[in-house]
Structure 1
Amino acid sequence: MLTIAPEFYLIFSVNSSLYGVEAQSVQEIFSLPELTPIAEAPREIIGVVNLRGDILPVMDLNLRFGYNQLEYCLTDSVIVVEWQKLRVGMIVNQVNEVYNISPEDMTKELFYDREVPDRSRSFVCDMAKVAADIVMLLNIENLLSYSKSVEPLDGDKNKYNLALETVKYTKERIFCPQATPEDRAIFRERSQNLMRSSEKEDLTGLIPLAVIGLSGEYFGLDLKLVREFTDIRKVTPVPCCPPHIVGNMNLRGEIVTLVDVRRLLNMPMLGAETTAKVMVVWVDDLVAGIKVDEVFDVMYLHPAQISPVPAAVHSINDEYLQGTAPYGGKMMSLLDLQKMFNKGDMIVNEDI
């Protein structure tokens, strides 16, 4: 019996739905930057960005599928894919993981007794089971082809090439008009960072950081300790635990304990009850989830930009802070996760 080898797919979410693309077509992933709108461009091409000297068009997948445009936020990402030397960025809400999907977990039988459309032109080529989720696997060739009339989940690769076809608009196009001045500064900083040539940029000695938000404050932490970002799902409380232990969450079969570091930092719990994001970290041999309000960025910080903790920040428990640095026109505090987990009573060893 012939066995077909599984393939790797990058899974991501757009408007609460899960999609996947072949991992080999993905070139890179970065946080959504400020985009430059183009007056004569297809409706779904929101703008372009200077990616280390190359002009990269960036697509809104909601518009490509024929849905309404959603507001963009700092937690959105851009996945750069390539097909026949055509590179396009796709705006997604969250990047999950690369999964090894077997053919037996896929199905093309989506319509049963209904009339089956021409699937060779569809954006979705398969549906797949990934853990407890259903993922729509996209056909990159069809997705990166353009037609004047776009219907949901339908494309026509034989009419117009995405890079050549243009549609004129009479309405002024502005990238992310609802963004606050602070958010716009971060979007702009990201685009400036992407503009730098990889050959000229020396990352030696720079510190990779993940930038998160807690109760209205910016915090940076060592990116090497971060395993992934994900949404908070059903949380099961754990009895007889300290207040900072929120409970346990089932993450694709792995039980992850959620903690709230605000209590250790003596911070107000503003927004803590409505937060929907968790940052999964790996400190030594311990895997845990940290509740966060927002995930802003991934950046490289020069050690010379780090300053001592000023007196104004002493309202926060600075025992677990390594210093401060500028970010987005404000001050960012640098968290010492190693010390927080090893000396902050984050680990509960008592038997219940």
Structure 2
Amino acid sequence: METKPYLIFKQNGLLWGVEVACVREIFFLPELTPIAEAPPDIVGAIDLRGSILPVMDLNLRFGYLWHEYCLTDSAIVIEWQEVRVAIIVNEVTEVKQIPEDAITPQLSYGRDNSEASHHFVAGFARCEADMIMLLNLDRLIRYSPDKTEAEIPFSASIAGSGALSGKVEGQNLQLEIDPKLLAENANFLSQPRVFCPNALPEEKAIFRERADNLRLLGDRKNSEAINLSLAVVLLNDEYFGINLEVVREFTDIRQVTPVPCTPDRIIGNMNLRGEILTLVDIRNVLSMSADTKSLSKAIVVEIEDLVAGIVVDEILNIIYLNVAELGTIPAALTSENREYLLGTTIYKEKIIAVLNLHKLLKQGGIVVDEEV
């Protein structure tokens, strides 16, 4: 069964997913610059390494009331049919491989015009105990409500606030919404935009610093350099980056069968939808202590004729950067470690060591050539 990777994020307590192939970058929300005459849900723009990028507030796009932003909010840069926009989300959680048969394209509510309820939802995915709504990027970016829909900024926040009442007249349900709440929402949409007016001075300084960092990175950018997409993983509380070009999928580890007469770096085999996958631990090659007592996640990589599952403690995120932005390898790393690294970058104020996985697997003694 074919699977597809989705970046999962939280918004208003709900889980949403967006195709990883459309994600270009993720970072914490910076200060936004207001834009005159922009649609109500486009709440500002950022200077992203020399390119002006519009930023969409998903709350307003979905029809909810506006909420103050906080330092833990993130921006996901997405690209759809040559349109690039950043969306504000509460929290980016992980990347999940979702099989096609786990996705329900539409829900039937028994109503004549059910499609109107799915403006921005491409489907509903079942992932263990969670239900994830998948974004329809074409509708999210291009859809404009007709005049009837645009007249009243009806909000799920209003609907759940106890401010909504109704009565039946003939065949129609007449809704009555608290005018005070509507006035507050309309007041926000009509006022000149000021980014986080109620934030503390120290919070405003952090937002501004983030915006400055994104802008200043453009001064060092080499327009001909290669973009690099990385999966950020955790090994023994240290951050590492793995090039997504060699990543086939992410998976949970279940029912590992030990392989006799193999080095300690070979954890065992696992059945992955009918394929026997060998799980390997790269920590000893990196001179790190190995702990295989709690195996949970693996990244399935494919390099030339080699397919293996790289055991990791946690898959944290997907990030995108310019190769020119890679920093040098710290001198503190031992010589045998340095040859398996491409460079370093910063993620959440921590250093990420970017792995040269091709060399590590091919020359680091991971591949078992001896016969058993």
TM-score range, shorter chain: 0.5 to 0.7
Q: Deviations over 1:308-339 (max 9, x none)?
A: x62x322x842643475464676654533223
Q: Report the CA distance shift for 1:226/1:81 in structure 2 as closer, same or farther (over 3 A).
A: closer
Question: 1: distance between equivalents of 2:213 and 2:268?
Answer: 35
Please point out which of 351, 363, 366 is paired with 1:343.
363
Q: Report the CA distance shift for 1:254/1:196 in structure 2 as closer, same or farther (over 3 A).
A: farther
Q: Which residue of 2 aligns with 1:288?
A: 308
Question: 2: distance between equivalents of 1:343 and 1:126?
Answer: 44
- Partner amino acid, structure 1, of 2:355: L
Tell me if structure 2 keeps the 8 A contact 1:10–1:20.
Answer: no
Could you tell me which runs of 5 or more consecutive residues in structure 1 were left unpaired when the two chains were aligned. 1-7
Tell me if structure 1 keeps the 8 A contact 2:15–2:133.
Answer: yes
Aligned alpha-carbon RMSD (Å): 5.9
Q: Report the CA distance shift for 1:186/1:269 in structure 2 as closer, same or farther (over 3 A).
A: farther
Q: Report the CA distance shift for 1:233/1:45 in structure 2 as closer, same or farther (over 3 A).
A: farther
Question: 2: distance between equivalents of 1:43 and 1:60?
Answer: 11
Q: Which residue of 2 aligns with 1:5?
A: none
Count the aligned residue pairs.
319
Q: Report the CA distance shift for 1:171/1:49 in structure 2 as closer, same or farther (over 3 A).
A: closer
Question: 2: distance between equivalents of 1:256 and 1:106?
Answer: 31
Q: Which residue of 1 aligns with 2:323?
A: 301
Secondary structure of 1:265's aligned partner: coil
Q: Which residue of 2 aligns with 1:78?
A: 76
Work out whether 1:263 is the aligned partner of 2:284: yes
Question: 2: distance between equivalents of 1:285 and 1:341?
Answer: 11
Work out whether 1:238 is the aligned partner of 2:264: no
Question: 2: distance between equivalents of 1:341 and 1:242?
Answer: 14
Question: 2: distance between equivalents of 1:317 and 1:343?
Answer: 11
Structure with bigger helix share is 2
Question: 1: distance between equivalents of 2:201 and 2:304?
Answer: 42
Q: Could you tell me the percent identity over the aligned residues? A: 20
Could you tell me which runs of 5 or more consecutive residues in structure 2 were left unpaired when the two chains were aligned. 161-181
Question: 2: distance between equivalents of 1:261 and 1:253?
Answer: 24
Question: 1: distance between equivalents of 2:301 and 2:107?
Answer: 37
In the TM superposition, what are the counterparts of 1:28-177 in structure 2 within 5 Å?
29-36=24-31, 48-51=45-48, 52-59=50-57, 78-80=76-78, 87=85, 89=87, 91=89, 92-94=92-94, 106-109=105-108, 111=109, 119-122=115-118, 127=123, 136-138=133-135, 141=139, 147=153, 149-151=155-157, 172-173=198-199
Secondary structure of 1:313's aligned partner: coil
Tell me if structure 2 keeps the 8 A contact 1:131–1:252.
Answer: no
Q: Which residue of 1 aligns with 2:215?
A: 192
Tell me if structure 1 keeps the 8 A contact 2:57–2:87.
Answer: yes
Secondary structure of 2:367's aligned partner: coil
Shift of 1:95: 5.0
Question: 2: distance between equivalents of 1:350 and 1:317?
Answer: 23
Question: 2: distance between equivalents of 1:288 and 1:70?
Answer: 41
Tell me if structure 1 keeps the 8 A contact 2:98–2:127.
Answer: no
